[in-house]
């Protein structure tokens, strides 16, 4: 293969990172957040922290009630601020929060990525091995359609569950 013979490895880094945090799944997001902050700090590059209020999670009465929505919005905005503070304490200098509302994967791919233009999207991965669901629906959608590289960060606990499931 001639192309391969002529090829030389080049140093390759990412220059804009986005982390999609699942507000309902702190455990799954934690290792992904550690990874995103580590890369952003080491290379001193901008980090976007994106959180989505899943309006599909609300029942019809809740979604029609301005009070419920207002409370949910306040709660998620508070968590987003906390995540940004944690990144700042760790040493990330350029942090940009993004708050969306709707279907998380669609909001991230269709609205937040075109706005921030990351070259790497970092996502956690929920694992429900009982039903052989090893990657969240939102993670699978983002891995497929995000116009950037995507890293799916698995925690040690998730990996252990996957391995023991396959060995059964």
Q: Is 153 in the site for its own copies (CB under 8 A)?
A: yes
Pairwise CA distance, residues 111 & 155, whole Å:
28
74, 93, 157, 159: residue in contact with its own copies (rule CB under 8 A):
159
Tell me the C-alpha to C-alpha distance, in Å, between residue 56 and each of 12, 59, 101, 115, 168. Answer: 39, 8, 9, 23, 35
> How many residues are given for the chain?
168
65, 70, 82, 115: residue in contact with its own copies (rule CB under 8 A):
82
Pairwise CA distance, residues 69 & 18, whole Å:
26
Residue 59 half-sphere exposure toward CB, CA atoms < 13 A: 1
Q: Is 162 in the site for its own copies (CB under 8 A)?
A: yes
Q: Is 64 in the site for its own copies (CB under 8 A)?
A: no
For residue 7, report the phi and psi dihedrals to the nearest 5 degrees.
Answer: -75, 140
For residue 145, report the phi and psi dihedrals to the nearest 5 degrees.
Answer: -110, -10
By CB under 8 A, which span of 48-56, 59-67, 77-85, 96-104 interacts with its own copies?
77-85
Q: Is 33 in the site for its own copies (CB under 8 A)?
A: yes
Residues 83-112 that bind its own copies (CB under 8 A): 83, 86-87, 89-90
28, 31, 98, 116: residue in contact with its own copies (rule CB under 8 A):
31
13, 71, 73, 128: residue in contact with its own copies (rule CB under 8 A):
13
User: ∠118-138-43 over CA atoms, to 5°?
Assistant: 25
Q: Which is nearer to its own copies, 73 or 144 (CB)?
A: 144
Q: Is 130 in the site for its own copies (CB under 8 A)?
A: no
- Asked if 152 contacts 122 with a C-beta cutoff of 8 angstroms, the reply is no
| Site for its own copies, rule CB under 8 A | 1, 3-5, 7-13, 26-27, 30-31, 33-35, 37-38, 79, 82-83, 86-87, 89-90, 134-135, 140, 143-145, 147-154, 159, 162-163, 166
């Amino acid at each position: 293969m001639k192309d391969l013979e002529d090829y030389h490895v080049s140093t390759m880094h990412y220059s804009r990172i986005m982390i999609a945090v699942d507000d309902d799944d702190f455990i799954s997001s934690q290792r992904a957040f550690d990874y995103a902050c580590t890369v952003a700090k080491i290379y001193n590059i901008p980090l976007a922290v994106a959180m989505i209020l899943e309006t599909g999670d609300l029942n019809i009465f809740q979604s029609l009630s301005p009070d419920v929505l207002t409370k949910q919005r306040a709660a998620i905005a508070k968590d987003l601020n906390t995540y940004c503070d944690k990144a700042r304490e760790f040493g990330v200098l350029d942090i940009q929060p993004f708050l969306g509302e709707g279907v998380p994967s669609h909001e991230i791919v269709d609205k937040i990525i075109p706005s921030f233009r990351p070259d790497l999207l970092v996502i956690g991965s929920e694992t429900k091995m009982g039903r052989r669901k090893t990657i969240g629906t939102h993670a699978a959608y983002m891995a497929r359609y995000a116009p950037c590289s995507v890293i799916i960060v698995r925690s040690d606990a998730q990996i252990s569950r996957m391995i023991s499931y396959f060995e059964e």
